[in-house]
Amino acid sequence: MANDMAEDVEQAEKLGLNVDEIAFYRALIQNESAVKELGDHNLKGLAKYVADQLRKSTTVDWQVRDSARAKLHNLVRRALRKWKYPPDKADEAIELCLKQAEVLSEGWSS
C-alpha cells in the first residue's frame, strides 16, 4: 500500500496533477477509446475539472442521500459529455469517479 501511495505521488507530480486528481485520471483512462480520442492532455484537464466540481459539490452525507448522489452522478455525466468523453464506457467512468469521490470526500469535508 505504501508503494502504491508513493507511485501515486510520483505519477501525480509527473503529470502535473494533485493526488485527488490522479485518482480521477486513473478512473477516466480505463476506457482505451477515451485515451485514443481525447488524448492525455484533455484527460488530465477533465480529471482536474471533475475533481474540482466534486470537491465543491460534496456534502457530508452525500453518500447516504439518494438525491445528493444523483446530483453528483449528473454532474460527472455532464462533465464527460462536455469534454466529449466516448459514450461506450461513460457509465463505467461515472461509477469509478463516484467511487473515488467516496474515498476522497472524507478528506474534503474535514
Alpha helices in 1-110 (DSSP H): 2-15, 19-28, 32-57, 66-82, 90-109
The 10 Å Cβ neighbour count of residue 98 is 19
Say whether pLDDT at 1 is over 50.
no
Nearest to 108 by CA among 9, 23, 28: 23
Query: pLDDT digits over 60-98, tens only?
Result: 777 777 888 899 999 999 999 999 999 988 999 999 999
Phi-psi map region of 79: left, alpha, beta (phi>0 left; psi -120 to 50 alpha): alpha
Q: Which pTM does this prediction carry? A: 0.81
Return the SS3 of 54: helix
Joined grid coordinates for residue 103: 474515498
